[in-house]
Amino acid sequence: MTANDYGFDTLAIHAGQDPDPRTGAVVPPIYQTSTYAQDAVGAPRLGYEYSRSGNPTRDALQECLAAIEGGRRGLAFASGLAAEDTLLRAVCRPGDHVVIPGDAYGGTYRLFAKVAENWGLSWTAVPLDDLDQVRAAFRPGVTKMIWAETPTNPLLNIADIAALAGLAHEYDALLVVDNTFASPYLQQPLALGADVVVHSTTKYLGGHSDVVGGALIAASDDLGDQLAFHQNAMGAVNGPFDAWLTLRGVKTLGVRMERHCDNAERIVGYLREHKAVSEVLYPGLESHPGHEVAAKQMQRFGGMVSFRATGGMEKAVDICNRTKLFVLAESLGGIESLIEHPGQMTHLSAAGSALEVPADLVRLSVGIETVDDLLADLEQALG
């Protein structure tokens, strides 16, 4: 099933999910097994021999992910960072160089700075919305990849995917896009020229804060085969039940994202008028420096909102501690609304570095609750 033949919601519900041929079960079964009986030596049944290498439940998820991102091959992992690590070691070698966002997700920064760098991979962080700075950071023959997030976490900056793809390919490098914040429903990086899409499926794809996972979707068969080899060789796959939970979440991604966006837009309008807020960061605002690019490459502007508190870090922390419906927790993209202080939570690993986030920053993951209740909660928390 492809986007040429079906709409997004149809793909999310049906791609890779034909009724079980033996029983007719409409929902793909959970194949909770580690190994498989073989018909003869060297003749595994339907190609399945060991669940690290292949599992029917995971395969259903992988096929669905490839379909909704418009890719040639999807691969599921135990976490988003497991997917990122597998990708880096599959396509890079010690001595290579990568350009990353100047405000990358804290876990991604930690992976580059504390793990990949020790392996011999160098990196340069630049604002990816400035193509001149991106070009200046390139080391011809050495830079193998631009690693993009758009919108970024947590500053919600926007990168021009098509422009970055053109620049990367000019130097025979890959463009990797972390599409976690936008989700495949709102943004399709492969159609804009990206080579690989990365997801923390824990977030919007799973959507219910009950499963951890990651994914890679490749634009080409050759790259997909290369990543699949490393997925098996490195072994950081998700289990069948985790794959099943994620696949269940994907089915409702489209309808959930519409509500996330509706609620976020209402909350942005409220925050912009509140005296306790000095700045609202949301690409849907015409005043956002990346608004025009976001409007060009996104269907809507998402459910993530960040703002800076008047009164500095003390006020930002106080707001986080005072909410009742907005749960103080890390992660994002679930049906329930979350609030966090990035500087001391998700982005603590970047403290003291060039990627350190502002101390007065608060990040909201706007859920799908009744929006008037969310607004009332913010009203009492902001004071």
Active site residues: 52, 105, 178, 203
Answer for the pair 234, 227: CB distance below 8 angstroms, yes or no: no
d(CA 37, CA 50): 10
Backbone phi, then psi, for 126, in 5-degree steps? -140, 160
Cβ contacts of 325 within 8 Å, gap of 6 or more: 337, 369, 373, 374, 377
SS3 125: strand
| Burial (Cβ within 10 Å: 0-12, 13-18, ≥19) of residue 37 | exposed
Residue with tokens 């604002």: 127
Q: What is the DSSP letter of 322?
A: H
Edge-first strand order for the sheet with 73-77 is 73-77, 214-218, 196-199, 174-178, 143-149, 97-101, 122-126
Q: Which two tokens stand for residue 177?
A: 């896009």
Q: What is the C-alpha to C-alpha distance for residues 175 and 192, in angstroms, rounded to an integer?
A: 10
Which residues fall within 8 angstroms of residue 313, CB to CB, at 6 or more apart? 341, 343, 359, 360
